Amino acid sequence: MFAKRVVCRPAALLLSGNTPPKVIILPPSSAEISSLNTATLLCVASEGFPSDWRLSWKVDGSSRAQESSAGLLQKDALYSWSSSLTLSEQEWMKSVSVSCEATRTGQPAVTAQLRRDQCSDQ
């Protein structure tokens, strides 16, 4: 006689509603600026739900078209996203602020702002 095989399936995770992501901007490295004459900023949005939040950039208030990743499902059943923006060294040095905004239809935007005067060469 054969033993019965037990098959287990994880319980369905029921999330509903909306969880705005936390948004941060990582500044460019001084090594990149000095060696490549470019400044790449990284926007990371995490712990959001559902997956259809979108990231966008502004430099001194002017929109910049840039691709962002699709929502990546994390172990906690929330999503994360990222987007990078590369500026020339001259554009970075003359900019006052860079912002990254997470948006979803019908929800208030979540914005992170990085002011260049907050950054220093280390």
Residue 30, in any domain of the structure: yes
Which CATH number fits the domain that encloses residue 51? Answer: 2.60.40.10
Residue 34, in any domain of the structure: yes
Q: Which residues contact 36 (CB under 8 A, 6 or more apart)?
A: none
- In the sheet with 97-103, reading across from the earlier edge strand, the strands are 62-64, 54-59, 97-103, 110-115
List the pLDDT tens digit at each of the 122 positions of the chain.
Answer: 555 665 544 444 445 578 999 999 999 999 999 999 999 999 999 999 999 999 999 999 999 988 888 999 999 999 999 999 999 999 999 999 999 999 999 999 999 999 988 887 65
The H-or-E segment that residue 98 falls in is: strand 97-103
Residue 7, in any domain of the structure: no
Residue 65, in any domain of the structure: yes
Domain of 54?
22-118
CA–CA separation, 121 and 41 (whole Å): 15
The secondary structure of residue 68, as a DSSP letter, is: B
The number of folded domains in the chain is 1
pLDDT score recorded for residue 65: 85
Residue 75, in any domain of the structure: yes
pLDDT score recorded for residue 55: 97
Residue 9, in any domain of the structure: no
Cα 26–32–37 angle (5° rounding)?
120
Residue 33, in any domain of the structure: yes
Residue 59, in any domain of the structure: yes
CA–CA separation, 48 and 82 (whole Å): 12
